[in-house]
Amino acid sequence: MKPMRTGRLVLRNWQDRDRELFHRINSDERVMEFFPFRRDRVQADAKMDELRGVIDRDGFGFAAAEVAATGQCIGFVGITRTDHLPFLPAGTVEIGWRLAPEFWGKGYVTEASEAWLAFGFETLGLGEIVSFAVENNRRSTAVMERLGMTADPSADFDHPGIPDSHAALKRHVFYRLGRADWQQQTQKRAAR
C-alpha cells in the first residue's frame, strides 16, 4: 500500500513500532466497549500481522493512521472486504475505524474515512461501501452519518461472531453509501 496523506494524517500499512498502540486500543475498555473481547499482547500482535498481510495482499485494509506532524500512530481507519460475514454479497467492502481515546473528538476518523471513501470509489471503482456497528454505538453511527452514509434498517443483523453471552452486542445497524451519492455529496462540498 502506498501511504495516503490527508490534511493532518498519514494512512499507511502497519509497522513494528505500532505494536504497543495496537495492543492498547484492542485492550482498552472504552475503545472496546462494543466488542465482547479484549486482546492480550500476543493476540493483538497476531491481529496486527493479519491486518498487515491483508494490506500487502489487497493494497487496502484497516490501515494505521498516524499524525503527520508527529509520526504518532493513533489507531486505524480503512476499508476491507467483509468475507467474515457470509450473508453479505461477495465483494462487499466495509469502512471501519478504531482510535485511542485521547484522539477521539478531533475529526481524525472523518478525515481519514473521507480519504478511504475516495480511494474506494475512485481508485477501486467500488459501487458501494458499507459500515455497521452495535445498534447503540452512537459514536460510530454519528461518523457514518457525517460521511453521508444512510441507515438501511432492512439490512440490520445479529452479528454471528458475537456469542450469546454478550446478547446486548449482537444487534448491528447497517449503513450504506453508493458511489453516485458519494459523488453528489463531494460535488456539493466542493461548491461551498
Total-model pTM: 0.95
Residue 99, H or E segment: strand 93-99
Residue pair 121/179 in contact by the 8 Å Cβ criterion = yes
Domains of the chain: 4-191 (3.40.630.30)
Q: What are phi and psi of 79, to 5 degrees?
A: -120, 145
C-alpha R_g of the chain: 16
Which pLDDT tens digit goes with each residue over 42-92? Answer: 999 999 999 999 999 999 999 999 999 999 999 999 999 998 888 899 999
Give the mean pLDDT of the chain: 96
pLDDT computed for residue 177 by the predictor: 98
